[in-house]
Amino acid sequence: MQSFRTEIENPVVEKDIIDLERKIRQFREGKVDDERFRSLRLARGIYGQRQPGVQMIRIKLPYGKVTSEQLHRIADVSDKYSTGRLHITTRQDIQIHYVSLDRTPELWAELEKDSVTIREACGNTVRNVTASETAGIDTEEPFDVTPYADATFRYMLRNPIGQEMGRKFKISFSSSDADTALSYMHDLGFIPKIRDGKRGFKVLLGGGLGSQPRHADVIYEFLEAERIIPLIEGVVRIFDRYGERAKRMKARMKFLLKDMGVEEFTRLVKEEQKAVPYDTYPIETEGFDSFPAALENLEHIEVPRVEIDDAEAYEHWKKTNVFPQKQQGFVAVGIKVVIGDFYTDKARKLADLVRKYAGNELRFSLRQNILLRHVREDLLPFFYRELGALGFTQVGYDSTADITACPGTDTCNLGIANSTGIAQVLEEVLSEEYPEYLDNKDVAIKISGCMNACGQHMMAHIGFQGMSIRSGKLVAPALQVLLGGGVLGDGQGRFSDKVIKIPSKRGPQALRTILDDFRANAEEGENFLGYYDRQGKTYFYDILKPLSETDNLTEDDFRDWGHTENYKQEVGVGECAGVVIDLVATLLYESEEKIEGAGTALEAGKWADSIYHSYTSIINTAKALLLAEGKKTNTHAGIIDQFQDVFVVTGKVELQAGGEFSDLVYQIRKNEPTGDFAGKYMQDAITFVNRVKSYREEELIAS
């Protein structure tokens, strides 16, 4: 690999990109362990695809906001380094595929020219901060949550507390009690409230999907807005310290809360607040709403004359895809993007359209769609024509016929069955046979290619999960049918029940059976969840059971959607939040790097960052010796306790001031983040690392 110039003005970003290029070179030269390198690249949004030798790049777009300039930049990057296809995720990111690892630093540098990042889009980090795509224009919102989501994103980006946790960490901000950002399934979820004229949030902790979904707990009915950043930092610190690190399937926040209990966890968070650099963190709210600038620019636009050829189709589109804003005279326009995929030629034209005729921004939605904001109501016929030319006027935005699906076996290592193929077929079934569901927003259908629930099937009214099924010696693609999930609002939600497993090619008939039964037997005014509860899980199992038989499979049943060859279950190693196995030498080397980071932060006056780098250095160093002894290193807290017993009590490693190892480490929570303490703690870390290195060298010589 050749070194390159990034031409990035921000020195922090430039250093980050150059460091990635250096680590890739070291990896190619065999100087960096494969597992450790995986952790580093994942934290830079670089994910190994199912196809060997290429990467998926996840572009991190906080709360889904993209300007015209940024969308042009993303399109250019996709054409230059990828295939020209853009995929919208259920976390409001953009993914591009089939990228060479060696080209990722220059790709990242190109994106940063328009302030677009891939940092912490994957890996064991604080992931993209999501929010309702209607935030700022929602007619029901108490206030715009965009500034708070933005402040959270910026505060956590490159923050040392969230770089190497046991698993990923997800945060959401809903715009209103409708809870469209799904707070109840997030590690931290925020719903805006106003109490006595003051802004604040209802706060939920510890939700999650996957094979063992957990409904988040309400830890605050009302938390003042200026206190959310200190709370977030405290929660992430405690999760980092006590979260599982060895058993990947038990490493999410929901499992830590199950083991520890919410009361004990929140006690530790409060105890940690002394170490957090801010008691309160006021958030600037001015300048986030693009409406004032949009209004000024749009007031003088001449309305292009447009003749509508099909008035009925136009009115149907307005009914399902156009929404009033709280700003009078303006509307938002929803674009239904089938399975979240669109291409760069259309992206550029869309970017030009919103720059000239709207608020110069769009937002990607949690349901893999696009929302155009600040569209003058009298410009709707023009937008209908322009969007129609791009194929972007399909009705049913956010409706039952707007199915959410993860990439599945198209590109994901963990995929068991094809998600996108079945999603497209089911959308065709709905459009052709159940047109009434194009206007229905009360039933959501979601599909995931495996149990990890990236397609959010566990919270759908009707969900499908990719699986496999055996018939004799042969294996066929299958779907687990789930029913009864949904968002109830104000932090409440339901997880769906696993009802039955069927061959994948029978998915369309399963959907027909469910919808036909609902149409025939629902009571007047009864919604789908009410109907499901009244009939019960066993009832639906019985009506779907004929579809589950495997003794009558046809040749076609052994081919997954979109494939011509027989199905093979080939599940790779998942990377998105994989727990890495660190080598002793690598950990000790990284401990020194952490101390360098502590020194850099100290010089910059970032006391809390310096302290956390020193803390991580001490922990990594202790972990290295424990691994060398074959000890478990599941949590930071466990490392601290074990190191005391194995190395300090036995006299193998002497601490500078005597006492216990926990006294050295837990200075971090007993001292305020001052410059004096940051300097002292860094020196303590240096002394400890040097003593452990000396001990390690002596042990290696003796052996």
pLDDT at 59: 97
Which of the pair, 39 or 348, is modelled with greater confidence? 348
pLDDT at 6: 59
CA distance 430 to 11: 52
Q: Beta strands 404-405 and 445-448: pairing type?
A: parallel
Residue indicated by tokens 């003058």:
376
Are residues 521 and 530 in contact, defined by beta-carbon separation less than 8 angstroms? no
Q: What is the pTM of this model?
A: 0.91
Q: What percent of the chain has pLDDT over 90?
A: 73
Residue indicated by tokens 């976390």:
91
Which of the pair, 454 or 398, is modelled with greater confidence? 398
pLDDT at 570: 59
Say whether pLDDT at 701 is over 90: no
Say whether pLDDT at 574 is over 70: no
CA distance 615 to 592: 12
Domain boundaries, the chain: 11-112, 130-272, 291-389, 415-558, 584-702
DSSP reduced 3-state for 449: coil
CATH number of 291-389: 3.30.70
Say whether pLDDT at 581 is over 50: no
Q: Beta strands 370-376 and 361-364: pairing type?
A: antiparallel
Are residues 405 and 567 in contact, defined by beta-carbon separation less than 8 angstroms? no
The residues near 503 (Cβ < 8 Å, ≥ 6 apart) are: 469, 476, 477, 478, 479, 547, 548, 550, 553, 557
Are residues 629 and 701 in contact, defined by beta-carbon separation less than 8 angstroms? no
Structure tokens at 257: 């809360």
The residues near 300 (Cβ < 8 Å, ≥ 6 apart) are: none
| pLDDT bucket at 294, cuts 50 / 70 / 90 | low
pLDDT at 264: 97
Closest CA to 365 of 430, 321, 329: 321
pLDDT at 419: 84
pLDDT at 8: 75
Angle value at C-alpha 345, between 13 and 562, nearest 5 degrees:
100
DSSP reduced 3-state for 42: helix
CATH of 584-702, one of 3.30.565.10, 3.40.630.40, 1.20.120.330, 1.10.1270.20: 1.20.120.330
Phi, psi of 419, deg, nearest 5: -90, -45
The residues near 409 (Cβ < 8 Å, ≥ 6 apart) are: 50, 415, 416, 417, 418, 419, 449, 466, 560
Let me know if domain 415-558 sits in CATH 3.30.413.10.
yes
| pLDDT bucket at 580, cuts 50 / 70 / 90 | very low
Phi-psi region of 362 (alpha: psi -120 to 50; beta: other; left: phi over 0): beta
pLDDT at 645: 93
Mean pLDDT of 339-355: 96
Phi, psi of 10, deg, nearest 5: -75, 115
Say whether pLDDT at 311 is over 60: yes
**Residues forming a β-bridge with 438:** none
Q: Beta strands 171-173 and 188-195: pairing type?
A: parallel
Which of the pair, 659 or 45, is modelled with greater confidence? 45
CATH number of 11-112: 3.90.480.20
Helices (H), 440-505: none
CA distance 3 to 117: 20
CB count in 10 Å sphere of residue 429: 18
CA distance 271 to 455: 37
Summary mean pLDDT of the chain? 91
Q: Give yes or no on whether 130-272 and 415-558 have one common fold.
A: yes
CA distance 125 to 164: 6
CA distance 360 to 351: 8
Buried b (16+ CB within 10 A) or exposed e, 299-318: eeeeeeeeeeeeeeebebbb
Are residues 458 and 495 in contact, defined by beta-carbon separation less than 8 angstroms? yes
DSSP 648: I
Q: What is the pLDDT of residues 674-697, one digit of tens each?
A: 999 999 999 999 999 999 988 888
Closest CA to 151 of 196, 95, 190: 190
Mean pLDDT of 267-281: 96
Say whether pLDDT at 66 is over 60: yes
Q: What is the pLDDT of residues 195-204, one digit of tens each?
A: 999 999 999 9
Helices (H), 330-379: 344-357
Q: What is the pLDDT of residues 416-444, one digit of tens each?
A: 778 888 989 999 999 999 999 999 999 99
Q: Beta strands 94-99 and 188-195: pairing type?
A: unpaired
Are residues 503 and 553 in contact, defined by beta-carbon separation less than 8 angstroms? yes
CA distance 387 to 673: 53
DSSP reduced 3-state for 331: strand
Closest CA to 133 of 204, 90, 181: 181
Say whether pLDDT at 1 is over 70: no
Q: What is the pLDDT of residues 19-41, one digit of tens each?
A: 999 999 988 988 877 777 888 88
| pLDDT bucket at 246, cuts 50 / 70 / 90 | confident
Mean pLDDT lowest for which of 328-342, 606-620, 656-670?
656-670
Say whether pLDDT at 578 is over 50: no
The residues near 281 (Cβ < 8 Å, ≥ 6 apart) are: 151, 155, 226, 227, 228, 229, 230
Q: What is the pLDDT of residues 505-522, one digit of tens each?
A: 999 999 999 999 999 999
pLDDT at 251: 87
DSSP 634: -
Say whether pLDDT at 465 is over 90: yes
- The radius of gyration of the chain's CA atoms, rounded to the nearest angstrom, is 26
Mean pLDDT of 384-396: 96
Are residues 228 and 269 in contact, defined by beta-carbon separation less than 8 angstroms? no
Q: What is the pLDDT of residues 593-603, one digit of tens each?
A: 899 999 999 99
Q: Which CATH architecture has domain 130-272?
A: 2-Layer Sandwich (3.30)
pLDDT at 225: 98
